Amino acid sequence: MANQFDKVIKGMLVLENEVVYGEIGIKDGKIKEIHKGEAGLTGETYLDFSNQYVFPGMIDVHVHCFSNTQEGFTTTSRAAAVGGITTFMDMPYDVPNPISNVEIFKEKAKKIENKAVVDIGLWATVSKYNGTDQIIPLAEAGAMAFKMSTFETDEHRFPRIPDPEIIKTMEILKETGLRAAFHSENDEIIYQMIEEYQKEGKVYPAAHMETRPPVTETSAVLKLLEFSYWTGGKLHIVHVSHPRTVELIQLFKKFGVDVSLETCYPYLLLDVSALDEFGPKAKNNPPLRKPEEVNGLWEQLHAGNIDLISSDHAPWPKEVKETGNDNIFKASSGMPGVEIMVPLMFNSTVAKGILTPVQFAKLMAIHPSEVFQIPSKGKIEMDYDADFTIIDPNETFIIDETKLQSNAKLSPFHGQKGKGKVVQTIVRGKTVYDGNEITVEPGFGKFVAGSAMREEALVVHK
């Protein structure tokens, strides 16, 4: 008898509302049957993950491949595969030019097709001035969403977008159904505080946190929430570091604003003491917060008020980070994460009984796909892409910064042990990481286009 499927996977399947022991039949890279119990599906290949979780392929919506380090798609997508990430969204702040016009966007999308080992979607952005005419062409070319900043990191590459341009962008984006996302920090307060601190010689690691007090995040977010309220544009706040920000967002949801938010794994797993301990290695923007604020963020996570968790993977190499050893303000911000976020978060939640596997899947796969309307990804459902992250809850992992795929061989999590190893990463039915090594060549990964102008994208969630 001929096999029914190309491949059959057996294990503890993490579906949208329950975990069931069962089988999945895959054909042409798609999920074609989901069966509870031992169904006896037949396939050319049969993968038995009996004591392991078969999660929907996890999605990291916040990755920087090309910010200065020129790390690129091959290295980053290999890191993603090892980390159980089947799709990631790459940020638009590339060196030398940000992804703010359609030619550059198309060039970048083409690069994915021969460089990547997992699937990748792309963020676009707008120029500081006079760039909004590119929004519709970028959306049509397949941008997943638009990222902007209220904080100026780099005048050309990563600028602070003036308020009138933000409003205009939100208005235009409504036609596409795509979301405007923001790095939300108050530029003026922070730059003035840094100047004062430096004058006084206060350049110790925790000064990074002290010069970016919570009000610099919350006040920037509050402004954006009002913009979203008055324009009706969809809003997303990236890397939320403080529970007060979550409260403000919840309030505006009650006003009917379509707003989502993410936090990043370091804000949950570290506090400001890591800055004292590791210096520049633990520097990110917004900064790590006080322990009681971290607890508040966990409370918001438990309450279901945080939509998703991302890595904000920013792989600065050691040499760049070390320039801040004597003065924290000189170091670049960010840390690698796409390779270590899933096991670290699994260990701190599911392995400790703090979240159910279904809740974990929502944060890492289901909500990312819903918030950014990523077609065919993020769920174990009929006709979806056969993307899976297989986690063995009983196997131990150890974070070793020297073995990271990334050229950034550094992490404040170095040496940490935990339960929940990624034992296999499967993209469109194909194993891209088998628990030991990458099993596909660059070129397997595909560009994932966004859902601009699609009917489902034009729905506003109130």
CB of 65 to Zn ion, least distance (A): 11
Stretch that binds Zn ion, among 12-20, 99-107, 308-316, 369-377 (CB under 5 A): 308-316
* 231-243 burial: b if 16+ Cβ within 10 Å, else e: bebbbbbbbbbbb
CB of 191 to Zn ion, least distance (A): 19
Fill in the amino acid letter for 46.
Y
Of 75 and 424, CB closest to Zn ion? 75
Stretch that binds Zn ion, among 69-77, 169-177, 307-315, 348-356 (CB under 5 A): 307-315
CB of 300 to Zn ion, least distance (A): 20
CB of 230 to Zn ion, least distance (A): 26
Residues 6 or more apart whose Cβ sits within 8 Å of residue 286: 185, 212, 216, 217, 239, 241, 242
Stretch that binds Zn ion, among 204-212, 288-296, 298-306, 311-319 (CB under 5 A): 311-319
CB of 91 to Zn ion, least distance (A): 6
Q: How many residues bind Zn ion (CB under 5 A)?
A: 1
CB of 312 to Zn ion, least distance (A): 4
User: Does 262 help bind Zn ion (rule: CB under 5 A)?
Assistant: no
C-alpha closest to that of 151 among 221, 81, 70, 210: 221
Of 71 and 312, CB closest to Zn ion? 312
Of 335 and 390, CB closest to Zn ion? 335
Of 89 and 249, CB closest to Zn ion? 89
Q: What gap in Å lies between CA 462 and CA 448, rounded to an integer?
A: 27
Stretch that binds Zn ion, among 16-24, 158-166, 305-313, 339-347 (CB under 5 A): 305-313
User: Does 71 help bind Zn ion (rule: CB under 5 A)?
Assistant: no
DSSP string, 31-85: EEEEEES-----EEEEEEEEEEEEEEPEEEEEE-SSSSS--HHHHHHHHHHHTTE
**Other residues' Cβ atoms within 10 Å of the Cβ of residue 101:** 19
Of 72 and 393, CB closest to Zn ion? 72
CB of 297 to Zn ion, least distance (A): 18
Of 312 and 339, CB closest to Zn ion? 312
Stretch that binds Zn ion, among 223-231, 306-314, 386-394, 430-438 (CB under 5 A): 306-314
Within 341-370, the residues that bind Zn ion by CB under 5 A are none
Do 68 and 96 form a contact (C-beta atoms < 8 A)? no
* 285-322 burial: b if 16+ Cβ within 10 Å, else e: bbbbbeeebbebbbebbeeebbbbbbbbbbbbbeebbb
Of 153 and 359, CB closest to Zn ion? 153
Phi first, then psi, for residue 172 (nearest 5°) are: -70, -40
SS3 348: helix
Q: What's the token pair of residue 431?
A: 């194993």
User: Does 312 help bind Zn ion (rule: CB under 5 A)?
Assistant: yes
Do 159 and 92 form a contact (C-beta atoms < 8 A)? no
Of 165 and 312, CB closest to Zn ion? 312
Shortest Cβ contact with Zn ion: which residue? Answer: 312
Stretch that binds Zn ion, among 76-84, 158-166, 309-317, 375-383 (CB under 5 A): 309-317
Phi first, then psi, for residue 60 (nearest 5°) are: -105, 110
CB of 242 to Zn ion, least distance (A): 16
Stretch that binds Zn ion, among 198-206, 304-312, 323-331, 384-392 (CB under 5 A): 304-312
Stretch that binds Zn ion, among 312-320, 372-380, 386-394, 407-415 (CB under 5 A): 312-320
Strands across the sheet with 5-14, in order?
30-36, 19-27, 5-14, 43-56, 388-398, 417-427, 430-433
Q: What's the token pair of residue 453?
A: 């102008």
C-alpha closest to that of 109 among 98, 120, 117, 118: 120
Q: β-strands 259-264, 235-237: how paired?
A: parallel
Of 93 and 227, CB closest to Zn ion? 93
Of 166 and 238, CB closest to Zn ion? 238
Of 313 and 379, CB closest to Zn ion? 313
SS (H, E, C) 385-452: ECCEEEEEEEEEEECCHHHCCCCCCCCCCCCCEEEEEEEEEEECCEEEECCCCECCCCCCCCECCCCC
CB of 386 to Zn ion, least distance (A): 29
CB of 372 to Zn ion, least distance (A): 15
CB of 67 to Zn ion, least distance (A): 8
Residues that bind Zn ion (CB under 5 A): 312
